[in-house]
Chains A and B, each alone.
Chain A
Amino acid sequence: QVQLQESGPGLVKPSETLSLTCTVSGGSISSYYWNWIRQPPGKGLEWIGYIYRSGSTKYNPSLNSRVTISVDTSKKQFSLKLNSVTAADTAVYYCAGEDCSGGSCYLKYWGQGTLVTVSS
C-alpha cells in the first residue's frame, strides 16, 4: 500500500518561498503521477500541479508563475516550491499519487496533509 508523508515548515513569512516535500513509501515512485493539492481552512480543494517520473510537469495556471514541482526518484520524494507567498496561500497542503493505469486517472493515494500558515 502506497503511503505518503508531507514535511516542511508550518510557518512561512509573506513574500518568502513555501517549500514542502512528500516522501513515498510502500510503492514505486515510477508508477504514478505525483500531485499537490491544497485546502484553505474551512474551504474547498484546489489542484496545484503534478510531476511524473520523467520530470514532466503540469501546473494550475492560477499559480503557474509561482510554483515549481520537482522529483528525486532516488530518495522517493517529490517537492513543492511556491514563491512570493501571501496570506491567501495559507492552507493544508496535500500530496497525492494519481493512478493513470487502466485508461483512467484518479487521485488514489493521499498524504495526511500539512498546514502551512503565511504570517509575519
Chain B
Amino acid sequence: DIQMTQSPSTLSASVGDRVTITCRASQSISTWLAWYQQKPGEAPKLLIYKASSLDSGVPSRFSGSGSGTEFTLTISSLQPDDFATYYCQHYNNYPYTFGQGTKLEIK
C-alpha cells in the first residue's frame, strides 16, 4: 500500500495568514492526488483533484501543487470558515489511502 504522510499534524494560524500543508507519498503517484476538508460532524468535502485542479465552487484562495511524491495545499488568506481538518488522498492504485490529517486551528 502507498503510505501518505501529512505535515504538520496540527497548524495554528490566524485569519488572513497564508498556510501550506504538505503531503508526501511513499512512492510516486504522478498527480493522482486529492485534498479534502472536513469539519467536525461533517463528511469530507472535495477541494482539489489531480493535485492542482480546483473542484467547482471551491474558493480560489485554495490551491494545490506537486507531482511524484511531494504535494502541497496552500490557503492564500485564511478565512474563519477554513479552520478544519485537511486530508490528502492518492488514487494512483488500489487501495486508496489517506494522509493522517492536518488540523488547522485558530491561533
Contact = CB atoms under 8 A, between A and B. Distances in A.
A105 B34 CA distance: 9
Which secondary structure dominates where chain B touches chain A?
loop
Interface in A14-68: 44-47, 58, 60-62
Name the residue among A46, A106, A108, A112 with the largest chain B CB count within 10 angstroms: A106
A78 interface: no
Contacts of A44: 87, 98-101
Task: Report the interface size class on chain B.
Answer: 20 to 34
A94 B43 contact: yes
22 contacts: A44-B87, A44-B101, A45-B44, A45-B87, A45-B89, A45-B98, A46-B98, A47-B95, A47-B96, A47-B98, A61-B95, A104-B49, A105-B32, A106-B34, A106-B91, A108-B46, A108-B55, A110-B43, A110-B44, A111-B43, A112-B42, A113-B43
Interface of B: 1, 32, 34, 36, 42-46, 49-50, 53, 55, 87, 89, 91, 94-101
